[in-house]
Structure 1
Amino acid sequence: MKKTTNLSGLRDMGIGLKYVPPNSINHQNLVDFLIEIDHDFVTLLSERVDLFEYAEKLRKNANFYIAYNLGSDNILGFIAFYANDKRKKRAFIPIMGVANSLRGKGIGGRLIEMTLCHLKSDGFEKVAMEPWENGPARPLYERKGFKFVNKLSEEQNGMCRINMELYLNPSISTFDFSPTKVEQKKRIGNKLNINLICKRDDLFSFTGGGNKARKLHYILAEAQKKGYNAIVTAGGNQSNHVRATAIFAAKLGWKTIMIIHDLEPNRTYVGNLKLTKLVGAELRFVNKENVAQSMDKAMTDLRNEGFNPLYIWGGGHCVEGSYAYYEAVKELKSQIGSQTIDFIVLASGTGTTQAGIEIGCRKFLPKCKVMGVSVARDSNKGKNAVLESMIELNDFLNKPVDIPEDIFFDDTWKGEGYESIYPELLETIHWAARTEGLILDSTYTGKAFHALRNYVSKGIIPKNSNVVFWHTGGLLNLMASDVI
């Protein structure tokens, strides 16, 4: 039996997640849960099948991942999948559901992730499902990578079922690019009494540079291979991710809708937003609480126009984004040769950049400590996001490393949150620029480098250490600022 896995926080609520093989789930518990979720389907499940017989069919033939009550073992949610076609290496998901009272807690997404990990480890290459065309769960399936294939003939209440598929091959394509420079920062290093190396992803060769550009070379290469031709994503007015995505999409000739969770400027657009508009992206300004709903609507709008749109989480938060920085550590390793690296310091936001570097270092630079400096999130939320992305990437790579219980994610230097500026931060930005021409911004890299200075002065990073500062970009954020 596969090991039970718990989503962060669920155990405190008395909820567990586990795998159940065929012929093992309690039949009556399954019947009871099917009755509970009967009204959640476009047409009642009980109008299409006999629930007692259907539960027995699932029990005998399907594998399950279930959310259950730790006290009573009652089912609170489940996903069933058939993994019988081992010759063609194809699996099928006939049904999933989560109790209404527990929706919105990430249980459905985690059940899908556990299923995909299971199928990958068993050598399956493709998994399919047949949801309703405009059913409420379709956006979730798309976010997990399932792609629309074709419509099926079955229609109910003016809606039809569709075939969706996901390929499980762990290889990720990329567009060609040149490695970013590794620079020795001798003047700054001498003043700090460390050997300081700067990995210059701010000089990445396309879309204005930065870590988002590196990620998109993987995200969009995979998307092009799978037949996508439009993009929906989200970010703030000065989102590097939104700007890089818009420019890359323009290069590919793809239509983009950007959900901007910010106030529309009442003056001329500047910085990242100016470039995003310049390359023809459609901008939709919304309140932050309406982002998910607005992204789902944009996906529907593009499909209605005949496009096959790709849904990208803000910041490029996906396994392809993490994988980009796993590969980036291999790139760094090839550049430094046999030199030992003691610490890597970087700005950490949505978590995938740090997650990729964490897995990469454990594989290729095992003596190196990764120090993520939060740009917005508090410690617990940030650590959980990084660890979940690490688990996702490690599963995708078939578990090359052991996942730690804890990581370094420091929220001391974020100020009051995203884009927060404080005097000590500004002093560090000016100091780095004037000491050796190292240009930092106040949203991302400035906070990370300010933390680095303090780690050295407090002895957290010992003198004479070999330190890589991973410069993830932010020049356009700096140019848009009216404070610096």
Structure 2
Amino acid sequence: MKLSFARLPTPIEILPRLSRRYEREIFVKRDDLTEFISSGNKIRKLEFLLADAVRNRCDTVFTCGGEQSNHARATAHLCVKLGLKPVLFLRESQPEQNNNLSRRIRSFFASDEAEWKYFKEAVNGNLLIDKLLGAEIVFVSQQQYAKIDEVFEEYKEKYESQGRKVYIIPEGGSNALGALGYVWAVAEMTNQIDLSQIDAIYCAVGSGGTYAGLLAGLRFLGYETPVIGINVTKREAKYFVEKVLKIVDELAEYGIRVNVKPEDIKITDDFSGPAYAVPTEADVECIKITASTEGIVLDPVYTSKAFRGMLQTSRRGQKVLFVHTGGTFGLFAQAHRFMEL
């Protein structure tokens, strides 16, 4: 069982000017167009995960991510559409990343007019959408987030003692059930482009589920096309190799049985930048060039790093397909990076 919220199929477009500039054929799967408020790759996973929540008669959904989490925003939106209560556990930014804006945000939520100036500075992008949707927001420290499963269980016990029934969605919706969304996406792509003629498919890797679904979907349908993941976090690639293997193995429960070896999983750490959600100047420039050249808007957390990684690791003459996983709302939280004084 799955829900149907995404506007599918999303198109695959060729980028003619960037293709000429970099001397390779660059195609983009426009999963930034899956919806509006719940746009991006997460909605494909959530169609399966929230169907499971409904099937289990849950009325409250927990999930987690960074302060500007695309996944948390998409989860909150779809929960509201289903009449479920979204509770978002958001990890504080490192003080050096964001001038500790999370402390200011928490102050705003706990007070009123006194913190209005901080609200204008800090509550924007995905976080603003979360608030408008009425999501309950629980800010957690970096240390708490490292033990998020324990935090979930503590809060679940509290909510269920009040008569609610909680469904927990992991970071990024990245488990086997969520990865089914990208197994289906591969099937969708087979009707749009000859995948056997694509030299590589590229995507950002933040929690591993999209990558796992793409790889499993390709192998399940008989394609040997490599999937190149660009790690946008400070976790090492080997962490994701293990996670992808686990997800792919667990997909067998849903009838997706494939043979994937560690060497089949190609994830690079070279473009993660100084920290998660912190783009380099090269990433910022990539966003500007892609927008002004092709009208494709990348985001500062995921797709700018992944797109730049694709440009630098693919070769002249190749035909490559980039999966645009969305994230546009995150641009507004980092608008200062794009303003030339």
How far, CA to CA, are the matches of 2:168 and 2:13 in structure 1?
A: 36
1:236 maps to 2:66: yes
Asked if the contact 2:195/2:223 (under 8 Å) is kept, the reply is: no
State the TM-score, normalized to the length of structure 2.
0.85
Equivalent residue letter for 2:238: N
Deviations 1:357-391 (A, max 9, x none): 01111122513110000000222222222222222
Asked if the contact 1:240/1:474 (under 8 Å) is kept, the reply is: yes
How far, CA to CA, are the matches of 2:78 and 2:210 in structure 1?
A: 19
1:286 maps to 2:107: no
How far, CA to CA, are the matches of 1:305 and 1:416 in structure 2?
A: 43
Alignment of 1:199-210 (within 5 A): 199-210=29-40
Structure 1 residue 338: Cα displacement: 7.3
Asked if the contact 2:42/2:70 (under 8 Å) is kept, the reply is: yes
Deviations 1:307-353 (A, max 9, x none): 21101111112212111111110011112257622210110111111
Equivalent residue letter for 1:300: E
Asked if the contact 1:333/1:364 (under 8 Å) is kept, the reply is: no
How far, CA to CA, are the matches of 1:264 and 1:360 in structure 2?
A: 42
Match of 1:474 in 2: 327
Match of 1:396 in 2: 253
Structure 1 residue 261: Cα displacement: 1.6
Structure 1 residue 223: Cα displacement: 1.6
Structure of larger gyration radius: 1
Structure 1 residue 238: Cα displacement: 0.1
Asked if the contact 1:207/1:213 (under 8 Å) is kept, the reply is: no
Structure 1 residue 449: Cα displacement: 0.5
Task: Return closer, same or farther for 1:196/1:337 CA change in 2, 3 Å cut-off.
Answer: same
Match of 1:447 in 2: 305
Structure 1 residue 467: Cα displacement: 1.1
How far, CA to CA, are the matches of 1:202 and 1:284 in structure 2?
A: 27
Equivalent residue letter for 1:341: I
Match of 1:174 in 2: 3
1:211 maps to 2:41: yes
Asked if the contact 2:160/2:166 (under 8 Å) is kept, the reply is: yes
Match of 1:189 in 2: 19
RMSD: 1.8
How far, CA to CA, are the matches of 2:67 and 2:305 in structure 1?
A: 19
Count of aligned residue pairs for this structure pair: 307
Asked if the contact 1:232/1:298 (under 8 Å) is kept, the reply is: no
Q: Which stretches in structure 1 are left out of the alignment for 5+ residues?
A: 1-171, 456-460
How far, CA to CA, are the matches of 1:202 and 1:250 in structure 2?
A: 21
Secondary structure class of the residue paired with 1:336: coil
Asked if the contact 1:264/1:285 (under 8 Å) is kept, the reply is: no
Counterpart among 245, 249, 270 of residue 387 in structure 1: 245
Match of 2:210 in 1: 353
Task: Return closer, same or farther for 1:199/1:434 CA change in 2, 3 Å cut-off.
Answer: same
Q: Which has the higher strand share?
A: 1
Asked if the contact 2:196/2:224 (under 8 Å) is kept, the reply is: no
Runs ≥4 residues deviating over 4 A? none
Secondary structure class of the residue paired with 1:175: coil
Higher relative contact order (CA 8 A, sep 6+): 2
How far, CA to CA, are the matches of 1:338 and 1:359 in structure 2?
A: 14
Match of 1:246 in 2: 76
Secondary structure class of the residue paired with 1:409: strand
Secondary structure class of the residue paired with 1:483: helix
Structure 1 residue 421: Cα displacement: 2.1
How far, CA to CA, are the matches of 1:223 and 1:271 in structure 2?
A: 27
How far, CA to CA, are the matches of 2:231 and 2:286 in structure 1?
A: 16
Equivalent residue letter for 2:204: A
Task: Return closer, same or farther for 1:201/1:399 CA change in 2, 3 Å cut-off.
Answer: closer
Secondary structure class of the residue paired with 1:479: helix
Asked if the contact 2:248/2:258 (under 8 Å) is kept, the reply is: no
Q: Which has the higher helix share?
A: 2
How far, CA to CA, are the matches of 2:89 and 2:29 in structure 1?
A: 31
How far, CA to CA, are the matches of 2:162 and 2:130 in structure 1?
A: 22
Of residues 378-387 and 224-233 in structure 1, the stretch that sits farther from structure 2 once superposed is 378-387
Equivalent residue letter for 1:438: I
1:335 maps to 2:192: yes
Counterpart among 418, 421, 424 of residue 276 in structure 2: 418
Task: Return closer, same or farther for 1:242/1:368 CA change in 2, 3 Å cut-off.
Answer: same
Match of 1:483 in 2: 337
Asked if the contact 2:203/2:230 (under 8 Å) is kept, the reply is: yes
State the TM-score, normalized to the length of structure 1.
0.61
Q: Which stretches in structure 2 are left out of the alignment for 5+ residues?
A: 93-101, 106-117
Asked if the contact 1:355/1:386 (under 8 Å) is kept, the reply is: yes
Match of 1:409 in 2: 267
1:362 maps to 2:219: yes
